[in-house]
Amino acid sequence: MIPFLTYPLALAALATLPALTAIYLLRNRFRRRTVSSLMLWHFTLQSRQGGTRVHRLQLPLLFFLELLALALLVTAATGPHWKSSQNNRPLIVVLDDSFSMRAVHDGASAQARAQKFLEGLFHHGAPPSVRLILAGKEPHSLGSIEKNWSQVAGLLSQWTCRSPDARLEPALTLAVEAGKDQANILILTDHKPDDENVSNRRVEWHSFGAAVDNIAIVNASRVAFENQDRCLLEIANFSTGSRSARLLVQAGTNTEAVPLSLDGRGSRRLVFNVPSATPSLHASLDPDALADDDDIQLLPPIRKRVRVQVRLPDENLTALADRILAATGLRSSISADPEIIIHDNASAATGNAWDLFWLTGAATNAFTGPFIIDDSHPVAQGMALDGIVWAAANITNAPGDVPIILAGNVPLVSTRDDAFGTRHLTLNYNPGLSTLQDTPALPILFWNLLRWRSDEMPGLKESNARLGADVTVKTDGHAVTMTRPDGVKKDFPATTGDIALETPMPGIYSVATGTITNQFSVNTIAADESDVSGCASGQWGKWSEDAQQRLEEASATWIFGLLALALLATHLWLVATAKGAR
Amino acid sequence: MDSPLRQALGDGEKLGLRYALQIPQVAASGWTGTRSGRRNGSSIDFQDYREYQPGDDLRFIDWSIYARSDRLTVKLFREEVIPHLDLVVDGSASMALDDTAKAVAAARLASVLATAAANAQCTRAIWLSGEGFRRLPNDTLSPITWESFAMDSKRTPEQSFEIVPPKFRRLGVRVLVSDLLWPGNPLTLLRRLRDGAAALFVIQLLAREDITPPEHGNLRVRDSETGEENEIYIDSTIAAQYLENLAQLQQSWDQACRQCGAHMTTIIAEDLDDSLDKLQAIQLLTPA
């Protein structure tokens, strides 16, 4: 005997199948229309004209059947719910996205072990729904709520463990808010919680890390140093015992192996110079448990030179200005189409270039202080004027000018911006009666000025960055296209100002602005994540087994729908029989 | 982001140049900027004296006091502040209803308001609802550079508030752009939006299709967000009932807005350009 024949409900359900097919055909007669919301389509009144068909049939039994079916459908359309008990709770998984999860122990990374654990969890009893939250530098919800393992596995492809930090606390807070004390929260990481006594009954903390030895590059920089580049590499040993390692440094075609002997929890800094023409400096350590922090690439620092034109009629003053500008090391060798013009004429036309009006006029007073310096201004950074004699014309601050250095109420250095954003500086300084030119303060002042100007030039501001840091590119009205190391391109429309570029993965990025293409390198440098000595495996916290089952809103629409379908099937049968009789 | 939306952002920016955001007096608190505020600052209205501290603007040192007492004293003036606009855009799928101008109008309207805010020397933040509220990338730059302006969420703004609420700036002007077509008590959302705001404006953006019931006949209506479907026979009674439901919804939002001290207006997406005078009527915009 077929088992469902012994169950009247199953038999009734089977009987609705041909009815469902018939209803489907009828539904095709309806015009389709997508509306903003169905809430305006829930009516208390029924259509008057919709009843004409009932009158035409003139069959009381069919009339009541249709009426009852409509009532059931209307009830179903209102989305009735009831409280039903649920044994399983939704699951929110917080995933540690830091690169320490990629540390390999016994042939598998913590990430792989965590993923395997999650898959096993599904096979032993899938939760009704799952939401994933990545804990990187900031928490990031992976969006949709998934219900089976294949969907979750698809989302897990975004779990790359490339972040330089894993902020689990904010991610847990987000999970608690999203879960509303109804969902179980699972944290998958590689270290134990700060407070091992997990008090939240809805949280389980699973760690899959292992304390393994790791030697890592924890600091790397390459800066301009006169005609060469100065490089700094810092290598740290995060194990408790002494370790030896070999650092392979490749600068252009030259390769050098540096043997290292590092004490337990110790580090060593290497500082060396390379020719500025060296395109890329590549440093790597011997492979170990965590490969991400064993490799760095440093590109040459960006050397922006400022084109300065000196238009001073006084030869001595011109020589002084040229000497100071040369000392800054930031002056371009060419002065055509200048970016800064130094002159002594208040009404000089300077076009779009910044200008420094060097005022050496008569009625000069020699000031010995106190000098008031706006330390927050880029031109005044690092300036110290103690013991200096500064001779300057006895003038007061012009309206609209912002003083940077003052002697009493006499502005010595001031600035203003015109309507086009061009900056105009005034240097009230007579070197004939001053001692300023005999101190480092004057080169510092000019270095600050040229550095300020170069910072305002379009293009990248740095060529080497740490993973996760924003790299700023200044644009001058051209569209910007960034190409990531994996070849993915991102376009930014033409605009003026600073654009912050995200760096989600290590490697060489290229940035095209107009016809110019620059590159910058992103390296995995984060000492806290490289230190995997504190990693551990284990479980902290346990989801409580509630004695009282959780009540959840469950839809009862299907019950009304099923009853309506059964009525409609009966209705069709009656209509067919009546027609057959006639 | 698709090109019609990008085009709408660009068009809205041009249209917005004719307007400026009207700033309520209570909003005069914020970052140093261009309007008289309630605290000390750098306008020309003198307020008080105090001792000089590193970082103070050197222009405001009173040299006559310095000459008399050898102490650096700065003059305090009324602050100048930059008022702030928090624009909250409903990112649910109903705002991008098929075959209507709703999404384009929402983008255009957001761009108009952002540009009007810039004309009024306001800073701004554009918030889009979805899986929680998120701030649009590049929202401080020109509207044409905005990224991820997509309206495809299945969540209402009220639900988005529960997941990740937006971080509004205190005493800013807040504007909600939505079709308001979700069930629930409007006060729940409005109170959260109104909390700490200088003023709250609610702009209901509807498509012409939303306010016009279809012609007589059988219709299968499908909810753009939930995918739920309902079959119905449309006649004059049903059409009247639909319009009554819509009127009741608008009335409930209007009453809730009055309770919260918010201003509400309704704009038809297809008539957006001709409806901007409504935004002047509720004192949100003013001619630039």
Mean pLDDT of the A13-26 span: 48
| A178 Cβ under 8 Å from any chain B Cβ | yes
Residue in B closest to A44 by C-alpha: B241
A62 pLDDT band, cuts 50/70/90, is: low
Identify all chain B residues contacting A403, using CB atoms and an 8 Å cutoff.
58-59
Across A210-214, A474-478, B1-5, least confident range: B1-5
Where does residue A181 fall: left (phi above 0), alpha (psi -120 to 50 degrees), or beta otherwise? Answer: left
* Residue A150 in this model has a pLDDT that exceeds 80: yes
For residue A397, the distance in angstroms to the closest alpha carbon of chain B comes to: 8
**How far lies B143's CA from each of A43, B88, B202, B272, in Å?**
41, 15, 21, 18
Provide the residue type at B260 as one letter.
Answer: C
Q: Is A337 strand, coil or helix?
A: coil
Contact assignment for B63 to A406 by CB distance below 8 Å: no
Residues of chain A contacting residue B222, judged by C-beta atoms under 8 Å apart: 32-35
Compute and round to an integer the Cα radius of gyration of chain A. 37
Cβ of residue A497 closer than 8 Å to a chain B Cβ: yes
Q: Enumerate the residues of chain B whose CB falls inside 8 A of the CB of residue A402.
A: 57, 59
Q: In whole numbers, what is the pLDDT of chain B averaged over residues?
A: 85
Superfamily classification of domain A215-301:
Immunoglobulins (2.60.40.10)
Pick the most confident of A330-339, B27-36, B262-271: B262-271
Partner residue facing B58 (CB), from A50, A143, A406: A406
The pTM (predicted TM-score) of the whole model is: 0.52
Answer whether A403 sits within 8 Å of B66, measured CB to CB.
no
Contacts of A48 in chain B (CB under 8 A): 235, 237
**3-state percent breakdown (helix, strand, coil) of chain B, nearest 5:** 40, 30, 30
Indicate the pLDDT class of residue A342, thresholds 50, 70 and 90: very high
- Band (A283; pLDDT cuts 50, 70, 90): very high
Q: Which residues of B touch A27 (CB under 8 A)?
A: 220, 231
The pLDDT, as a whole number, for residue A432 is 84
Cβ pair A30:B219 closer than 8 A: yes
Nearest to B220 among A27, A39, A404 (CB): A27
- Of the candidates A97, A96, A116, the one whose C-alpha atom is nearest the C-alpha of residue A106 is A116
Task: Give the confidence band of A9 by pLDDT, cuts at 50, 70, 90.
Answer: low
CB contact under 8 A, A37 and B221: no
Domain at A459-523: CATH code: 2.60.40.1930
Check whether A548 has a pLDDT greater than 70: no
Q: Of A343-347, A494-498, B116-120, B235-239, give the range with the top mean pLDDT.
A: B116-120
Hey, are the CB atoms on A36 and B230 less than 8 Å from each other?
no
For A38, name the nearest residue in chain B, comparing CA atoms only: B223
What percent of chain A has a predicted confidence (pLDDT) above 70? 86
Question: In sequence order, which residues have a C-beta less than 8 Å from that of residue A91 and are 6 or more positions away?
Answer: A121, A127, A129, A130, A131, A183, A184, A185, A186
Contact between B233 and A49 using a beta-carbon 8 Å cutoff: yes
pLDDT value for A20: 44
Residue A415 pLDDT more than 90? yes
User: Mean pLDDT in chain A?
Assistant: 82
CB contacts of A180 in chain B (<8 Å) are 162
Q: Is B44 or A215 the better-scoring residue by pLDDT?
A: A215
Q: How far is B181 from chain A (nearest CA, A)?
A: 6
For chain A, positions 500-529, list CB contacts with chain B under 8 A: none
**% of chain A at pLDDT higher than 90:** 24
The whole-number pLDDT of residue B25 equals: 64
The domains of chain A are located at 4-29+44-83+555-576, 86-212+532-552, 215-301, 308-455, 459-523
pLDDT of residue B115: 94
pLDDT score at A8: 57
CATH superfamily membership of A86-212+532-552? von Willebrand factor, type A domain (3.40.50.410)
With 50 as the cut, is the pLDDT of residue A257 above it? yes
Q: Tell me the sheet residues that pair with A91.
A: A130, A184
Residue B201 has pLDDT above 50, yes or no: yes
Secondary structure class of A304 (helix, strand, coil): coil
- In which band, very low, low, confident or very high, does the pLDDT at A44 lie, cut at 50, 70 and 90? low
Please report which confidence band the pLDDT of residue A95 belongs to, taking 50, 70 and 90 as the band edges.
very high
One fold for A86-212+532-552 and A308-455? yes
Identify the band that residue A125 occupies on the pLDDT scale cut at 50, 70 and 90: confident
Q: How many CA atoms lie within 13 A of A393 on its CB side?
A: 12
Cross-chain Cβ contact A45/B132 below 8 Å: no
Q: How wide is the angle at C-alpha B145 spanned by C-alphas B140 and B147, nearest 5°?
A: 90
Give the closest of A36, A44, A174 to B94, CB-based: A36
Order of strands across the sheet that contains A295-298: A254-262, A243-251, A281-285, A295-298
Instruction: Give me the residue from A36, A177, A375 closest to B179, CB to CB.
Output: A36
Verify whether the Cβ–Cβ distance A38 to B214 is below 8 Å. no
> What is the dotted CATH code of the domain comprising A308-455?
3.40.50
More confident residue, A220 or A47: A220
CB B123 within 8 A of CB B31: yes
What's the pLDDT at A227?
79
C-alpha closest to that of B93 among B45, B141, B150, B52: B150
pLDDT, residue A144, reads 67
pLDDT reported for residue A422: 84
The size of the A-B interface in CB pairs under 8 A is 139
Query: Tell me: the pLDDT tens digits for A182-193?
Result: 788 999 999 988
How high is the ipTM of this complex?
0.79
Split at pLDDT 50, 70, 90, the class of A307 is very high
Query: In Å, how far is B137's CA from the nearest CA of chain A?
Result: 10
* pLDDT score recorded for residue B34: 44
**Listed range (A113-117, B98-102, B227-231) with the worst mean pLDDT:** B227-231
Question: Measured between alpha carbons, how far is A127 from A91 in angstroms, rounded to an integer?
Answer: 6
Q: What is the pLDDT of residue B74?
A: 86
A375 Cβ under 8 Å from any chain B Cβ: yes
Counting runs of H as helices and runs of E as strands, what totals does chain A give? 10, 35
Task: Assess whether pLDDT exceeds 80 at residue A322.
Answer: yes
Task: Return the minimum-mean-pLDDT range out of A51-60, A557-566, B211-220.
Answer: A51-60
Among the listed ranges A101-105, A386-390, A495-499, B270-274, which one has the minimum average pLDDT value? Answer: A495-499
Tell me, what's the pLDDT at B29? Answer: 46
Least confident of A45-54, A466-475, A523-532, B132-141: A45-54
pLDDT in tens, A449-465: 998 988 888 888 889 99
